Every structure is written in structure tokens, then in C-alpha cells.
Amino acid sequence: MANIMWLQGGACSGNTMSFLNAEEPSACDLVTDFGMNVLWHPSLGMELGDNLQQMLKDCVSGAIKLDIFVFEGSVVNAPNGTGEWNRFAGRPMKDWVRELSDAADFVVAIGDCATWGGIPATAPNPSESQGLQFLKRDHGGFLGKDFKSKAGLPVINIPGCPAHPDWVTQILVGIATGRAGDLALDEFQRPKTFFQSFTQTGCTRNMHFAYKVSATEFGQRKGCLFYDLGCRGPMTHSPCNRILWNRVSSKTRAGMPCLGCTEPEFPFFDLAPGTVFKTQTVMGVPKDLPAGVDKKGYIKLTGAAKAAMPAWAEQDIFVV
């Protein structure tokens, strides 16, 4: 039996909504098949008021063993570092976060806000938001870069806006069934099993990417969304086209550019006007090139690819 406590900070509840839609395994499976005991969750918790406060205190003291502490949303420090803008169970949420993180065997950050600060931490960041162990790309965050939970792991980051439900439940199962030691984390403490490949991996538009055929409008079935519509699939680490959303599709498959929401800089360019859904260029060359590709190589590749482009690449090959 693994005890889980799930709290929300500066959050929209999107990751909770996502989690409740999990399928493989489902949120119910966690309890019935994998021996998890959800002590409390914002949408599922039964305790209220004093009883909840006592439960939290018991987790901090060790009277209740806290195996996994899950945090969704940013850590709100405003105003002036007090955290008073986000109070929970009688005190600033950030105080609970600190103490529960110290008490838990494992700490898991779910979604961009908990991992890197996300949209709340976008400049000018009025809520003084931080992620648990990162603020955007800067290592440290609320808990500090040297933080390790009792089991000896740093915060396990499962980013996304929201995170895919099955990323969440599968990692929780891995931890709860004693296989946390098998988790390899990348430099941003994301499980490599999900975040080593790119969003582009498995994208149905890869042929159009290869032959440099651009989609020019949303929802077009032909063409790659990278060249004009700001898709970040080639430089974003996620399995969105390997583990499909609702088991059927993904943003790029549906004609919607990837926003890069599993990367620390999300939302990119601080949402400046003209930067969303538009590939940013410098002298006509994309500012952000596919991971590992340099400008000269990109230009040469493009020339060769367009020269080799077969006629079918310019047409919609997905016949209804």
C-alpha cells in the first residue's frame, strides 16, 4: 500500500482533469489494482476542514507515512515571499509544500506550473511563482537544486499543459510498485521513458516535414506545421505522438501546432504578440531549428529536400 497526497498550488486544475481521464492505467486502477491509497486529492479527497488539516500534520510528522507527494500548480510566493496569496488549510500552501516534500519518500511535480512555473511564472510573474525544483530553465526553484526526497531522488517532473494522463498514472504505478529505481531522468528531471523522444516522433506529418511542405492554415491535413505555424514538435521532448491523447490523436495530427508545453520555456517568448502560432524567423530562417540541426545544415537539407520532393507530397494523401 502506497499513500499518496495530491495538492494544488497556483493551478487551473487542468492536470487533475487530465489525471481523472487516465486509461492505462486509470485513476481507479491505481487503487484497485496497484494498491495505492489516495490520502487526499482536491477532487477526490473526503476530508475537510480540521480533519484535512490534521491529516496534513500527520503526514508531516510521520504519523501517516507519506509515500508519494504529488504537487500540481506553481508554488505561489506572493506577496513579497510570504505565500499569502495561496493559503490552504490554515497557512500558506508553500509551507505545506516544503514540509510534505521533506516528509515524502517521493515527490512528483505534475504539469508545467509545478515543474517550471508555467504560465503563472511568465513575466512579469506577479504571483512570484516557482516550480518545485526549477524556475523555467534555472535549476533551483522552490525546493532548491540540492533537494532530494527521502528515497534519494530529486523531484520527478512530469511536465505538460496538461500532462498526459497516462504519463502521470504510469509513473505513479512505477513508484508505488517499487520500481522507482528504474526511472532514468533527463537534465530536467523528466522520466526519459517519456521525454527522450520528440513530439515529432510518430507525427503523421513527418513526410511533409522531410520534403519541406508547409501547412499554411490550421486544420490542413497536408503539410508540416513547423515551417509557418509555429509548431515546436521537432524540438520538444514528449511522446504525444507515441502515446496518443484519448488514445486516438494528437495536436499535430489534428492540424494544431505543438506549443512545446513540456519544455521549461513554455509559454515561449513570454506570449509576446505575434509569437504564438507563428514560426519565428531571423532573415527567413527559423529562429529555433529542429534539435541538433545547425543553420547551414538546415538550409542545405531544405534545398535538397525540396528538389527531391515527389508530387504526392504536395497533395492531401489522407483520403476520407
Residues that bind other proteins (CB under 8 A): 212-214, 216-217, 220-222, 227-228, 274-275, 278-286, 295-296, 298-299, 302-303, 306-307, 309, 311, 314-316
Q: How far is the CB of 210 from other proteins (least distance, A)?
A: 13
For other proteins, the closer CB: 32 or 280:
280
* Stretch (H or E) spanning 316: none
Half-sphere exposure of residue 32: CA atoms within 13 angstroms, side-chain side = 5
For other proteins, the closer CB: 248 or 307:
307
For other proteins, the closer CB: 191 or 223:
223
For other proteins, the closer CB: 51 or 218:
218
Q: How far is the CB of 217 from other proteins (least distance, A)?
A: 6
Residue environment code for 176-209, b if the CB has 16+ CB neighbours within 10 A, otherwise e: beeebeebebeebbbbebbbebbbbbbbebbebb
Q: How far is the CB of 296 from other proteins (least distance, A)?
A: 6
Residue 224 in grid coordinates: 508540416
Q: How far is the CB of 235 from other proteins (least distance, A)?
A: 16
Half-sphere exposure of residue 273: CA atoms within 13 angstroms, side-chain side = 0
Q: How far is the CB of 283 from other proteins (least distance, A)?
A: 5
For other proteins, the closer CB: 247 or 296:
296
For other proteins, the closer CB: 199 or 279:
279
Contacts of 8 (CB under 8 A, 6+ apart): 16, 42, 71, 72, 73
For other proteins, the closer CB: 1 or 283:
283
- Whole-angstrom distance, CA of residue 267 vs CA of residue 230: 12
Contact yes or no for 2/67 (Cβ under 8 A): yes
Q: How far is the CB of 319 from other proteins (least distance, A)?
A: 8
Q: How far is the CB of 95 from other proteins (least distance, A)?
A: 43
Contact yes or no for 156/183 (Cβ under 8 A): yes
Q: How far is the CB of 117 from other proteins (least distance, A)?
A: 25
- CB atoms near residue 311 (< 10 Å): 6
In 89-215, beta strands by DSSP E: 91-92, 106-110, 129-130, 134-135, 138-139, 156-158
Judged by DSSP in three states, 304 sits in helix
Q: What is the largest CA-CA distance in the chain?
A: 70
For other proteins, the closer CB: 243 or 309:
309
- Whole-angstrom distance, CA of residue 82 vs CA of residue 74: 14
Name the phi and psi angles at 178, rounded to 5. Answer: 80, 20
